[in-house]
């Protein structure tokens, strides 16, 4: 070996080592690629789509500590369940029904790809830009990823959803799969079609019991298969239809079921996607099943229409050694026997909540009030509030109306009105003066005063929680024994004068507001005084009625109404609650009305909500049966970008089988009133 060849070998070795080091350094500085994709970029409100986040590592070195976050914009949410899957390691979060997807501490191997998949749904039409944070890792910063999703604009927008009526079920057990298709467009949807491969763990039952309410469409489901085909459907604008069939769980575990995209078209247009329908069926393996027998039977052989029969459920523990707790079940009586309703439900220790809203209101106040409709505004004398001959102000308990500085005070029976007040019975007399009475043709009176005395015994005086049932057109302030106890949302805060104008009030129905009167009431004689303010100097009407009842004796069953209870709305003037003693399924009902309350909301109808709530206490954790009847009515005048929902929450958790866990949901644009009818 000569010196030249030895030097050459050493040089080549050094060059190869240097090349390897340079290659390694290059791999370490190459961050993985980062992208978003979605099963369909056009998704109807309430439909689902599969969002995939892909991380591709083209380097020969593993990328560790993968971190990113995707905050979904308002109008986009994770499905419930979120159907979340990740093979990127680390800590992956995508809460059911939530709006944030995150990965922390993930890993992707050399020359490999990992992905995150979640179900998303729309609660508004959009379009929406989904933009992640930057993806960071041990290999550097990969930047962000973005994609756009929204409801179809060049074709029908369909809401498409499905659910299993029972989940979980035992292995080999049967349940009903229900699809709902809703045309959210103002034009008929034609050629509606989809396929559903179910899941490897779900098959069509031998007797599928197919029910198809979608006109012109064919639903095909072969017993024992996993293939469901729907084709040729037509759905009028704003209408919905349902499909149902029985399926069997054949594989234990969580069986995720996602359909194909549902497609449809307008007349003479190309088909367009509106997203998919997603659901999960939980199937319990035999080893996890309790050894319990369960049966039911009617104790009577027959009963006439409107009669009552006893349905008996039997639960038997067949185990010789095991004790089973937290036993619960559900039974759809209406599906078994249309029109059947559960009454007199048994419960250990009685009902926690039992309300029928019958309208039997205890009498605390009489209908007779002293009132003053002579308090002239700036169009007349510009009167201040009256005082009596002893200097007592008008709302004081000992105020003497006969010596009032402004008068005369009159006596009359509620309801009081001038003009037409929708909340009052037809034909109610117009008692109040001052409307259109000023020389300039405007109103001469814009503030009206009312007061009456009432008696309480010692027990009643100690009651803290009361309800004020009232109609104020437009706003009002209530005083008890000279102290302010309630101010309607339409009234401004702070000191008011006789010329203070209210915000626009509600004349369409009675409002029920809770009030705490602890320390305000006395045993014996008490005084209540109310001032009602108009919203403008040329308002065409004024109205007042008020009742005061203990919350525990309320015909609303102890439920109290509040505005802005859902979805973060903030417009108390566009919602109200009322008791209808005869408006329920078999008797009374409590109602919440949103929008459409006055002339102006025909042009501006802000997001609004309202709800009735009641607090109850349980001694220990457990399963509590809840049964309620509900009805959603949606006016024909709403447009296709507006919607209404019936919602039920318990401890802040929303329960329901409709879109976004609602009880029911309608969209505008149908051109006709939509009515769910009474549902259980």
Q: What is the DSSP string of 615-632?
A: ----SS---------B--
Cβ contacts of residue 197 below 8 Å, gap of 6+? Answer: 226, 227, 228, 259, 260
pLDDT in tens, 184-229: 888 888 999 999 988 888 999 988 899 898 878 899 998 889 899 9
Q: Rounded CA gap, 19 and 16, in Å?
A: 5
Which two tokens mark 216?
């012109």
Query: What's the confidence (pLDDT) of residue 133?
Result: 94
- Asked whether residue 582 is domain-assigned, the answer is yes
Residues 526, 392 within the same domain: yes
For 46, 163, 309, the CA distances from 263, given in Å and listed in that order, are 15, 20, 47
- Asked whether residue 645 is domain-assigned, the answer is no
Q: Is the pLDDT of residue 370 over 90?
A: yes
Confidence of residue 349 (pLDDT cuts 50, 70, 90): very low
Query: What's the confidence (pLDDT) of residue 492?
Result: 92
Confidence of residue 354 (pLDDT cuts 50, 70, 90): low
Q: Rounded CA gap, 393 and 132, in Å?
A: 63
Residues 378, 438 within the same domain: yes
Residues 145, 267 within the same domain: no
Judged by average pLDDT, the poorest of 50-54, 353-357, 585-589, 658-662 is 353-357
Q: What is the mean pLDDT of the chain?
A: 83
Residues 456, 395 within the same domain: yes
Q: Rounded CA gap, 441 and 380, in Å?
A: 12
pLDDT in tens, 418-458: 998 877 877 888 999 999 999 999 999 999 999 999 999 99
Query: What's the confidence (pLDDT) of residue 265?
Result: 87
Query: What's the confidence (pLDDT) of residue 320?
Result: 55
Query: What's the confidence (pLDDT) of residue 145?
Result: 93
Q: Is the pLDDT of residue 406 over 60?
A: yes
- Asked whether residue 491 is domain-assigned, the answer is yes
Q: Rounded CA gap, 372 and 360, in Å?
A: 31
Domain range for 132: 33-149
Query: What's the confidence (pLDDT) of residue 522?
Result: 94
Confidence of residue 616 (pLDDT cuts 50, 70, 90): low
DSSP 552: G
Domain count, the chain: 3
Query: What's the confidence (pLDDT) of residue 551?
Result: 77
- Asked whether residue 276 is domain-assigned, the answer is yes
Confidence of residue 615 (pLDDT cuts 50, 70, 90): low
DSSP 353-365: -----------SS
Judged by average pLDDT, the poorest of 235-244, 315-324, 584-593, 637-646 is 315-324
- Asked whether residue 176 is domain-assigned, the answer is yes
Residues 167, 144 within the same domain: no
Which CATH number do you get for residue 46?
A: 2.60.40.290
Judged by average pLDDT, the poorest of 11-20, 177-186, 398-407, 657-666 is 11-20
Which CATH number do you get for residue 531?
A: 2.60.120.260
Closest CA to 44 of 148, 127, 156, 159: 159
Residues 528, 394 within the same domain: yes
Helix (H) or strand (E) holding 19: helix 3-28
Residues 64, 177 within the same domain: no
Judged by average pLDDT, the poorest of 22-26, 304-308, 523-527, 556-560 is 22-26
Confidence of residue 640 (pLDDT cuts 50, 70, 90): confident
Q: Is the pLDDT of residue 13 over 60?
A: no
Confidence of residue 322 (pLDDT cuts 50, 70, 90): low
Query: What's the confidence (pLDDT) of residue 171?
Result: 83
Q: Is the pLDDT of residue 680 over 80?
A: no
Query: What's the confidence (pLDDT) of residue 571?
Result: 67
Which CATH number do you get for residue 258?
A: 2.60.40.740
Query: What's the confidence (pLDDT) of residue 344?
Result: 60
Confidence of residue 21 (pLDDT cuts 50, 70, 90): very low
Residues 239, 210 within the same domain: yes
Bridge-based pairing state of the strands 263-265 and 189-196: antiparallel
pLDDT in tens, 94-103: 998 889 999 9
- Asked whether residue 13 is domain-assigned, the answer is no
* Residue that finishes a domain, picked among 599, 615, 631: 615
Confidence of residue 9 (pLDDT cuts 50, 70, 90): very low
pLDDT in tens, 372-395: 999 999 999 999 999 999 999 999
Confidence of residue 8 (pLDDT cuts 50, 70, 90): very low
- Asked whether residue 466 is domain-assigned, the answer is yes
Query: What's the confidence (pLDDT) of residue 572?
Result: 57
Q: What angle do CA 48, 51, 54 make, to 5 degrees?
A: 170
* Residue that finishes a domain, picked among 236, 268, 287: 287
The number of beta carbons lying within 10 Å of the beta carbon of residue 313 is: 10
Residues 433, 489 within the same domain: yes
- Asked whether residue 554 is domain-assigned, the answer is yes
| Predicted model pTM | 0.42
Query: What's the confidence (pLDDT) of residue 144?
Result: 93
* Residue that finishes a domain, picked among 598, 615, 632: 615
Q: Is the pLDDT of residue 39 over 50?
A: yes
Contact criterion met (CB below 8 Å) for 335 and 341 = no
Sort 21 into a burial class: Cβ within 10 Å, 0-12 / 13-18 / 19+. exposed
Residues 138, 165 within the same domain: no
Query: What's the confidence (pLDDT) of residue 401?
Result: 95
Which two tokens mark 454?
């009432």
pLDDT in tens, 99-126: 999 999 999 999 999 999 999 988 888 8
Residues 501, 572 within the same domain: yes
Judged by average pLDDT, the poorest of 76-90, 134-148, 298-312, 456-470 is 298-312
Judged by average pLDDT, the poorest of 133-137, 235-239, 260-264, 345-349 is 345-349
Residues 508, 384 within the same domain: yes
For 196, 236, 274, the CA distances from 193, given in Å and listed in that order, are 10, 15, 11
Mean pLDDT calculated for residue range 148-169 = 85
Quick one: what percent of the chain has pLDDT higher than 90? 34
Q: Is the pLDDT of residue 253 over 70?
A: yes
Query: What's the confidence (pLDDT) of residue 663?
Result: 87
Confidence of residue 339 (pLDDT cuts 50, 70, 90): confident
């Amino acid at each position: 070996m000569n010196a030249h060849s030895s030097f050459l070998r050493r040089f080549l070795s050094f060059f190869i080592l240097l090349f390897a080091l340079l290659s390694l350094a290059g791999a370490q500085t190459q961050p993985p690629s980062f992208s978003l994709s979605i099963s369909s970029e056009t998704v109807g409100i309430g439909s689902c789509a599969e969002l995939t986040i892909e991380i591709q590592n083209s380097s020969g070195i593993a990328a560790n500590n993968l971190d990113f976050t995707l905050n979904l914009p308002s109008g986009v949410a994770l499905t419930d369940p979120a159907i979340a899957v990740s093979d990127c390691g680390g800590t992956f979060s995508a809460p059911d029904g939530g709006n944030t997807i995150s990965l922390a501490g993930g890993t992707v191997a050399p020359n490999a790809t990992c992905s995150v998949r979640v179900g998303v749904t729309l609660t508004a039409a959009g379009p929406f830009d989904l933009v992640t944070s930057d993806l960071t890792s041990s290999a550097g910063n990969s930047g962000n990823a973005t994609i756009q999703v929204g409801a179809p604009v060049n074709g029908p927008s369909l809401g498409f959803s499905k659910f299993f009526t029972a989940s979980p079920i035992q292995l080999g057990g049967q349940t009903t799969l229900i699809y709902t298709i809703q045309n959210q467009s103002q034009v008929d949807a034609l050629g509606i079609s989809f396929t559903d491969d179910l899941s490897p763990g779900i098959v069509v039952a031998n007797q599928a019991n197919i029910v198809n309410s979608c006109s012109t469409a064919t639903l095909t489901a072969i017993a024992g298969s996993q293939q469901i085909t729907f084709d040729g459907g037509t759905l009028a604008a704003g209408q919905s239809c349902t499909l149902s069939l029985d399926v069997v769980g054949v594989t234990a575990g969580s069986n995720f079921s996602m359909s194909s995209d549902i497609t449809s078209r307008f007349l003479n247009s190309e088909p367009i996607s509106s997203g998919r329908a997603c659901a999960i069926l939980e199937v319990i393996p035999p080893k996890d099943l309790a050894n319990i027998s369960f049966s039911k039977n009617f104790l009577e052989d027959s009963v006439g229409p409107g009669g009552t029969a006893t349905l008996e459920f039997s639960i038997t523990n067949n185990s010789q050694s095991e004790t089973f707790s937290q036993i619960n079940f559900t039974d759809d009586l209406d599906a078994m026997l249309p029109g059947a309703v559960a009454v007199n439900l048994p419960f250990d220790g009685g009902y926690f909540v039992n309300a029928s809203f019958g309208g039997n209101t205890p009498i605390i106040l009489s209908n007779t009030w002293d009132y003053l409709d002579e308090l002239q505004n700036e169009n007349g004398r510009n009167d201040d509030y009256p005082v009596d001959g002893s200097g007592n102000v008008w709302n004081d308990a000992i105020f003497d109306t006969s010596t009032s500085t402004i008068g005369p005070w009159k006596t009359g029976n509620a309801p009081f009105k001038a003009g037409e007040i929708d909340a009052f019975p037809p034909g109610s007399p117009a008692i109040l003066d001052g409307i259109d009475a000023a020389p300039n043709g405007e109103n001469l009176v814009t503030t009206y005063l009312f007061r009456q005395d009432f008696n309480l015994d010692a027990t009643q005086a100690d009651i803290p929680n009361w309800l004020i049932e009232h109609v104020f057109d437009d706003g009002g302030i209530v005083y008890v024994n000279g102290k302010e106890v309630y101010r309607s949302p339409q009234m401004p805060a702070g000191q008011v004068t006789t010329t203070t104008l209210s915000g626009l009030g509600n004349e369409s129905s009675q409002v029920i507001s809770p009030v705490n009167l602890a320390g305000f009431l006395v045993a014996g004689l008490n005084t209540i005084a109310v001032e009602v303010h108009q919203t403008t100097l040329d308002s065409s009407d004024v109205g007042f009625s008020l009742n005061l009842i203990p919350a525990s004796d309320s015909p609303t069953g102890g439920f109290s109404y509040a505005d802005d209870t859902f979805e973060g709305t903030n417009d108390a003037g566009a919602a109200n609650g009322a008791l209808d003693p005869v408006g329920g399924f078999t008797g009374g009902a409590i109602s919440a009305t949103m929008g459409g309350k006055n002339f102006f909301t025909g042009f501006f109808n802000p997001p609004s909500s309202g709800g009735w709530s009641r607090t109850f206490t349980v001694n220990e954790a457990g399963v509590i049966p809840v049964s309620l009847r509900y009805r959603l009515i949606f006016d024909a005048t709403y447009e296709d970008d507006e919607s209404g929902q019936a919602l039920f929450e318990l401890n802040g958790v929303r329960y329901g089988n409709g879109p976004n866990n609602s009880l029911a949901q309608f969209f505008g644009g149908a051109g006709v009133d939509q009515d769910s009818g009474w549902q259980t």
